[in-house]
A = this chain, B = another copy of it.
Amino acid sequence: MQDAKKIVIIGGGACGPKAAARARRLDPNAIITIVQDEAFVSYAACGLPYFVSGMVRARTELIVRNAAAFKKINNVDVLLETRVDRIDRASHEIYTTNLKDGAAGVLKYDKLVISTGANPVMPPVEGINLKGIYSLKRVPDAEAVIAMAKASAMKKAVIVGAGLIGMEMAEALVARGMEVTVVEALDRVLATILDEEISDVTAKHVAGKGVNLKLGQKIVSFSGTDGHVSSATTDRETLQCDLVVVAIGVRPDTKLAKEAGLSIGTFGDIEVNEYMQTSDPDIYAGGDCVANVNIVTGQKNFVPMGSTANKHGHVIANHIYGVKERFPGIVGTACVKVFDFNVGRVGIGEKQAKGLGFNVTTALVSDTDKPEYYVGNQEITIKLIVDNQTRRILGGQGVGRGDVIKRIDVLATAITMGMTVDMLANLDLAYAPPYNNALDILHHTANLVINKIEGRTQTIKTAELKEKLDRNDDFTLLDVRTHLEADETSLEKPQTVLIPQLAVTNSINKLDKNKEHVILCLSGQRAYQICCVLKGAGFKNAKFVEGGLICWCDDVTGTPLI
């Protein structure tokens, strides 16, 4: 009998424990060890914002499997609070230090898995080391933030970064009763994943929840009192605060890999092949310390996700045992709950697609997620990005109170398989009133893209409409909502003419066929219909506002639509 295989795994987040569990299922005899520098192993780091918000009441709820259970169920040894100092590839050994007692150790490996994850990026500004400034990588960070949020004197929080974690933390700290300001260097929220239209609708909702958004502002320093942060200064203003959460992104933790001479990629990631093997075939890497091929572009992207990390772990263990499961890459799927809104994206955005040389057509549609007669229906907005030449779907994004994420998952599947917009328009999605409209918003959005590609439909985006209004262009803004709706919420611009949808046919002679008409309603659906009516009646220049007032992110008179 061969000697038992020695598998050593550095890092106990998502990829490492998954690799360990899978390896055990493939080999009852292997000696498997996870080395983890924290006091916990295999916990759901993605759940930390919900621990901070108070939904998750105890940190133990976040632990998928603790060290004792790993031993009992999987016969895997977990060395907690143990730091790995060095990998010796020649001798196939790693050198460790026990963080509790300082004891040095050595572990021999046949196969090594590096799943060291990623470290939060901290801005190198004055005062960054003051107390009260946290990132949110680990359980103790979250516990410290909770303690501060609970302290009665601590009322003002500044979150640096309006990315996924920043948005989740804004919600969590508002839930804790704090006054929250978010500072973001880019001029939009979730700017690295969302196109402008979807990002702006999200920001409108966040602002409506009382969060102060400071967009396009850079943190330049923090000041403190008695060593504790008391203000954050941006390039434009100074914000009083009792607590700061830094969430401007993460960077692969590749110190050990670099020092061991493994190949490092352009994101500072550990380079791996499709079996997650590094440049040393006895060493694998997975999780947030590697980048992934984006199936849409064929290029590597750094999109750290717990879901991807788990898949990496599975692929790694399989490859160690000769089961050739290939990791096919990602499609950049990301989602986040932002207060009452569900937000997601998949594939590539409009700007990225254009940057890669694609000639694209996009469409933005707002609709309910199920029939209006079915209780609990909610609005959602979907944007599609389609390559004109192949008609392949390149990306999709969504936002709203309704079930956005189902549509994102459908698009993730479609994009992975290279689906065209034409196939999407007739895709056999599940239909029953509790779940969907007879035609799903994805069908409508696909049809709008097709109509635009083929020149049958002219549209305008809300941002373009705002520019036209600001320039005081000579055009008619035809609002086709009801009087009741217009009384509640209105743009009240001099160009506005209100004619409810059902009255347009009878009033059409009052309008000037040769003038530009921009047609607006709540979601864009009535406006689309009326646009067709006007064009049928010989109007030369009629277009409707995609996504309607739901996607209008500037001021309104009356009740804002958030």
Task: Name the residue on B nearest A432 (C-beta).
Answer: B335
Are A46 and B433 touching (Cβ within 8 A)? yes
Contact pattern, A 522-540, Cβ under 8 Å of B = 1, otherwise 0: 0000000110110111000
Q: A374 and B413 in contact (CB under 8 A), knowing A44-B433, A426-B327, A432-B46?
A: no
Counting chain B CB atoms within 10 Å of each CB, which of A333, A427, A529 scores highest? A427
Chain B: CB-nearest residue to A480: B73
Most B Cβ at <10 Å: residue of A164, A295, A529, A535? A529
A361 at the interface (CB under 8 A from B): no
Instruction: Check if B447 sits within 8 Å of A430, measured CB to CB.
Output: no
**Residue A72 lies at the interface, judged by CB distance under 8 Å to chain B:** yes
B536 lies within 8 A of A307 (CB) = no
A167: min CB distance to chain B, Å: 10
Query: Which residue in chain B gives the minimum CB-CB distance to A30?
Result: B536
Residues of B within 8 A of A465 (CB): none
Q: Please tell me which stretch of A100-108, A150-158, A201-209, A415-423 contacts chain B, meaning at least 4 of its Cβ atoms lie within 8 angstroms of it.
A: A415-423
Q: Are A62 and B373 in contact (CB under 8 A)?
A: yes
Known: A47-B371, A371-B44, A425-B325. A28 touches B536 (CB 8 A): yes
Contact pick for A413, options B330, B334, B335, B414, CB 8 Å: B414
**Contact status B412-A416, CB under 8 Å:** no
Check if A434 is an interface residue, CB within 8 A of chain B.
Answer: yes
Residue A95 CB within 8 A of the other chain: no
Q: Is A176 an interface residue (CB 8 A)?
A: no
Query: For chain A residues 397-447, which have a beta carbon within 8 Å of chain B?
Result: 403, 405-406, 408-410, 412-414, 416-419, 422-423, 425-436, 438-440, 443, 447
A327 to B132, CA, bound (A): 60
A163 at the interface (CB under 8 A from B): no
B536 touching A502 by the CB < 8 A rule? Answer: no
> Does A240 reach chain B (CB closer than 8 Å)?
no
Q: Oligomeric state, in number of copies?
A: 2
Is A273 part of the binding interface, using a Cβ–Cβ cutoff of 8 Å? no
Measured CA separation A133–B270 after assembly (Å): 70
A495 in the interface (beta carbon within 8 A): no
Which chain B residues lie closer than 8 Å to A435 at the CB level? 335, 337, 342, 405
Contacts of A430 in B (CB 8 A): 333-335, 344, 346, 405, 408-409, 412
A334: chain B residues within 8 A (beta carbon): 430, 432
Interface presence of A69 (CB below 8 A)? yes
The reply to whether B412 and A428 contact each other, CB–CB distance below 8 Å, is yes
Determine if A244 is an interface residue (Cβ-Cβ < 8 Å): no
Cα distance A130–B537 when bound, in Å?
Answer: 54
A537–B417 CA distance with the chains assembled, in angstroms: 41
Q: Are B405 and A413 in contact (CB under 8 A)?
A: no
Residue from A344, A430, A443 with most neighbouring chain B CB atoms (10 Å): A430
Ordered nearest first, which 10 A-B pairs have the shortest CB separation? A28-B536, A417-B417, A307-B431, A335-B430, A413-B413, A61-B373, A337-B434, A406-B406, A306-B438, A25-B532
Known A73-B529, A416-B427, A417-B419; further 16 A-B contacts with Cβ < 8 A: A25-B532, A28-B535, A29-B536, A46-B431, A55-B375, A61-B372, A61-B373, A75-B505, A305-B431, A323-B454, A337-B435, A405-B430, A405-B435, A406-B406, A412-B427, A413-B414
Interface residues, chain A, CB within 8 Å of chain B? 14, 21, 24-26, 28-29, 44, 46-47, 50, 55-56, 61-62, 69, 72-75, 164, 295, 305-311, 314-315, 323, 325-337, 342, 344, 346, 371-375, 403, 405-406, 408-410, 412-414, 416-419, 422-423, 425-436, 438-440, 443, 447, 454, 456, 501-506, 529-530, 532-533, 535-537
A-B contact list, 19 entries, CB within 8 Å: A47-B374, A47-B433, A55-B375, A73-B502, A73-B530, A306-B438, A310-B438, A311-B439, A314-B425, A315-B426, A328-B426, A333-B429, A333-B431, A406-B409, A410-B410, A412-B427, A412-B430, A416-B427, A417-B417
